[in-house]
């Protein structure tokens, strides 16, 4: 099992912990060693049993009792700094008996405890203690007296902090506590370039700075209640060159409409609502242009801008509007490399790359470059956002960045070592010598789709090169079918990759799902794929076979592999985004029953996670009456899994728009795996769109722009 990583970022970096990663370089481990994450030795702090509430760039983590004890990742964090590591409450000298602790939303948690009044003869506790916590550093504590006698006892809250960085704490380090000092109605700590202040309202009756204790002498009458509000503020106490990410601000709406869903399967309703709630908690505003929003990759391990993950979240939420896509694309266009690292001109030497680190790819494949995925995905997100209704001028403004991405794709394949197949874009020379180039099947699919989407954009906006990109894609398609297909007794399967000498790597992995992700084209159609119809059929059957489908979703690596590990994040765990992509891709390819089987696995797992699917969970075989097992290092929430889970449900309505042509096709899943499904709050061409799908798979559009021409698939 591998360690999680700090935020994967574009350059200039914008991580919560302040670390930066150069394009094509190994992703830093949680220990900060500079090794790829796959080589990290220390098992990172686990939070799978903690209550974690998030409001980017802030978060708070504790046990289910609500106490912050300074262990693990417990505490309040803001912009990668732990502003408070300890907040232990005692009433009458004892800790409340923990009764309940859970999220009320992605950004808020509620904890309930009970305390017996000293000297009370009744065995039932008379006092309840409720803690309402918000990730941004606010907490309200309310003591209620349900007894028949006044409760006279002290309330003490012990506070402390180490002002440590998220990256070092995640790696298992425990910085020493910082001594506190009295600050008006609370306490203050200053160290390591930051200050943290906790203020209380009403003010405490006593402040013990040496012990870090706030104390109130309470007298709560029968049937009455008493409350105190605590507020944590974290500031940079010294000048810093790194600009931390910023939240979207109070009152700023999410960049999508409020979708309403009703269907026969209540699990799907809860999953969509809580997935969008999770995405909302991960939203960040771009420091260069605060009106542009994008999602952080996930909390707590990658709590910053990871370009590929942000683009996936933007793409998968396009049915809810194009604002998130527009903000994400603009933010990444500003970070796109527009000049080679050495100052020389020419594509293929860095220009056009959206930088990103290397990412561990499991035991059977070398690390993959997230810069490649982000650079190719940029073109696809722009093209599909245009189809969903991104205004023409906004598309035109972003088209030069897409052209630069296409240019580096062409330069890489023309000068590449693998006969026109696509390897990692923009890899540095020392990386190439240390690790020979590998052509992955998912990269070929992403490049093929980007070429065709690029051709559509170039043609529609009067730019040259569209015919050349279609020809390039057709050539890649032919080479892929000839070189990437591995024959076996089951009829054959794609190779996971080709090595530098052209040898296919026969690993069976969930990354195959990218071959089914064809992309939205004109008139609501799909782009051509790299596989022919028979190969697609064989792949569909392979994906739902027990070696990959564990009953909860797709394992990242076949269960038959000698390197299979149900907790390996690329060697057997179930990654929600890939399973969601398989659901949509199989359904659109006509394999609806296979898609329904995988969707059932996701929904069953979501029920065990309260509708809040983490980034991944264990790829253990599903057994009756056994819940899905959590992964100790999973981000939760994670942008990819939240957006993917919502998309897997929304896509069942089959809404496929072509806003430039003022047309929308509705082609729902005929098997209606969720029963009757009603969706409102979607947006096509900037206008509200609502659709209802019956239990026999017949769709009725109930709200749409009068300018749209409606069609059935």
Of the given ranges (117-131, 369-383, 384-398), which has the lowest mean pLDDT?
117-131
Mean pLDDT computed over every residue of the chain: 89
Is the N-terminal amide bond of 300 cis, ω within 30° of 0?
A: yes
The tens digit of pLDDT for each residue in 267-276 reads 999 999 999 9
CB atoms within 10 A of CB 71: 13
The tens digit of pLDDT for each residue in 423-442 reads 988 665 555 555 677 899 99
> pLDDT band for position 251 (50/70/90)?
confident
Task: Label residue 144 exposed, middle or buried (CB < 10 Å: 0-12, 13-18, 19+).
Answer: middle
Q: Which residue has the higher pLDDT, 489 or 449?
A: 449
> pLDDT band for position 405 (50/70/90)?
very high
Mean pLDDT, residues 37-66: 79
Retrieve residue 486's tokens. Answer: 């591995």
pLDDT of residue 713: 64
For 385, phi then psi, to 5°, come to -60, -40
One CATH from 3.40.50.2300, 3.90.180.10, 2.70.98.40, 1.10.287.70 for 58-236: 2.70.98.40
pLDDT for 309 beyond 80: yes
> pLDDT band for position 100 (50/70/90)?
very high
d(CA 146, CA 169): 41
pLDDT of residue 103: 97
pLDDT for 565 beyond 90: yes
> pLDDT band for position 349 (50/70/90)?
low
pLDDT of residue 706: 94
pLDDT of residue 532: 96
pLDDT of residue 210: 86
The tens digit of pLDDT for each residue in 493-530 reads 999 999 988 899 989 999 999 999 999 999 999 999 99
Q: How many CA atoms, within 13 angstroms, populate the side-chain half-sphere of residue 52?
A: 24
Mean pLDDT, residues 635-655: 97
Closest among 330, 309, 33 to 167, alpha carbons compared: 33
Give domain limits for the chain: 58-236, 260-703
Of the given ranges (46-50, 147-151, 336-340), which has the lowest mean pLDDT?
336-340
pTM attached to this predicted model:
0.92
Domain range 260-703, CATH architecture: Alpha/alpha barrel (1.50)
pLDDT of residue 332: 97
The answer to whether 347 touches 338, Cβ cutoff 8 Å, is no
Above pLDDT 90, what percent of the chain? 75
Q: Where are the beta strands (DSSP E) in 116-174?
A: 127-134, 138-145, 151-160
pLDDT for 338 beyond 90: no
pLDDT for 18 beyond 80: no
Of the given ranges (248-252, 614-618, 702-706), which has the lowest mean pLDDT?
248-252
Sign (positive/negative) of CA torsion 706, 460, 650, 536? positive
> pLDDT band for position 412 (50/70/90)?
confident
The answer to whether 135 touches 62, Cβ cutoff 8 Å, is no
> pLDDT band for position 367 (50/70/90)?
confident
pLDDT of residue 261: 97
pLDDT of residue 433: 54
pLDDT of residue 260: 95
Closest among 332, 324, 335, 451 to 385, alpha carbons compared: 324
């Amino acid at each position: 099992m591998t360690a999680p990583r700090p935020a994967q970022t574009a350059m200039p970096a914008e991580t919560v912990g302040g670390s930066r990663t150069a394009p094509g370089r190994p992703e830093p481990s949680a220990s900060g060693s500079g090794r790829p994450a796959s080589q990290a030795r220390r098992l990172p702090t686990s939070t799978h049993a903690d209550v974690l509430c998030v409001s980017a760039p802030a978060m708070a983590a504790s046990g289910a009792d609500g106490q912050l004890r300074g262990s693990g990742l417990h505490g309040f964090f803001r912009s990668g700094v732990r502003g408070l590591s300890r907040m232990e409450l005692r009433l009458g000298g004892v800790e409340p008996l923990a009764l309940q602790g859970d999220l009320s939303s992605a950004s808020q948690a509620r904890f309930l405890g009970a305390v017996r009044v000293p000297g009370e003869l009744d065995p039932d506790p008379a006092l309840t203690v409720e803690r309402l916590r918000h990730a941004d550093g606010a907490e309200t504590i309310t003591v209620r007296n349900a007894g028949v006698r006044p409760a006279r006892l002290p309330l003490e809250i012990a506070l402390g902090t180490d002002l440590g960085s998220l990256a070092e704490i995640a790696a298992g380090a425990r910085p020493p506590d910082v001594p506190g000092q009295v600050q008006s109605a609370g306490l203050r700590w200053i160290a390591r370039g930051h200050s943290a202040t906790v203020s209380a309202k009403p003010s405490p009756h006593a402040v013990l700075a040496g012990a870090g204790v706030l104390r109130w002498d309470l007298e709560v009458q029968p049937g009455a209640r008493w409350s105190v509000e605590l507020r944590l503020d974290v500031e940079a106490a010294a000048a810093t060159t790194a600009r931390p990410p910023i939240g979207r601000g109070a009152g700023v709406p999410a960049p999508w409409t409020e979708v309403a869903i009703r269907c026969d399967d209540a699990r799907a309703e809860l999953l969509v609502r809580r997935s969008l709630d999770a995405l909302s908690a991960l939203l960040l505003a771009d420091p260069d242009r605060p009106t542009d929003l994008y999602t952080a990759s996930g909390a707590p391990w990658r709590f910053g801008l990871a370009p590929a993950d942000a683009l996936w979240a933007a793409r998968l939420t396009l049915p809810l509007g194009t604002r998130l896509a527009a903000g994400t694309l603009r933010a990444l266009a500003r970070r796109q490399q527009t000049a080679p690292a050495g100052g020389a001109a020419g594509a293929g030497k860095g220009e056009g790359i959206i930088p990103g680190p290397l990412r561990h790819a499991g035991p059977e494949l070398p690390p993959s470059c997230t810069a490649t995925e982000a650079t190719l995905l940029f073109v696809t997100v722009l093209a599909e956002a245009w189809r969903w209704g991104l205004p023409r001028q906004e598309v035109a403004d972003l088209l030069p960045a897409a052209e630069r991405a296409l240019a580096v794709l062409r330069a890489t394949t023309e000068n590449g070592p693998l006969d026109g197949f696509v390897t990692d874009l923009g890899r540095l020379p020392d990386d190439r010598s240390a690790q020979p180039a590998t052509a992955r099947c998912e990269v070929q699919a992403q490049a093929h789709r980007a070429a065709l989407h690029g051709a559509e954009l170039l043609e529609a906006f009067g730019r040259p090169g569209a015919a050349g990109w279609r020809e390039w894609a057709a050539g890649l398609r032919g080479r892929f079918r000839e070189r990437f297909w591995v024959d076996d007794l089951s009829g054959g399967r794609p190779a996971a990759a080709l090595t530098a000498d052209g040898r296919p790597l026969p690993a069976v992995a969930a990354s195959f799902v990218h071959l089914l992700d064809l992309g939205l084209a004109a008139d609501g159609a799909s782009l051509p794929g790299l596989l022919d119809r028979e190969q697609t059929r064989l792949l569909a059957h392979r994906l739902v076979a027990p070696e990959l489908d564990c009953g909860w979703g797709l394992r990242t690596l076949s269960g038959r592999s000698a390197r299979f590990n149900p907790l390996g994040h690329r060697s057997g765990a179930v990654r929600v985004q890939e399973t969601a992509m398989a659901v949509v891709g199989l359904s659109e390819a006509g394999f609806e029953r296979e898609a329904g089987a995988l969707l059932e696995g996701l929904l069953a797992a979501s029920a065990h996670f309260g509708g809040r699917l983490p980034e991944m969970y264990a790829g253990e075989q599903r057994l009756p009456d056994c819940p899905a097992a959590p992964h100790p290092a999973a981000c939760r929430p994670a942008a990819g899994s939240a957006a993917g889970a919502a998309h897997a449900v929304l896509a069942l309505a089959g809404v496929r728009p072509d806003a430039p042509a003022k047309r929308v096709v509705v082609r729902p899943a005929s098997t209606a795996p969720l029963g009757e499904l009603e969706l409102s709050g979607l947006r096509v061409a900037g206008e509200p769109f609502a659709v209802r799908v019956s239990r026999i798979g017949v769709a009725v559009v109930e709200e749409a722009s009068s300018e749209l021409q409606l069609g059935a698939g």
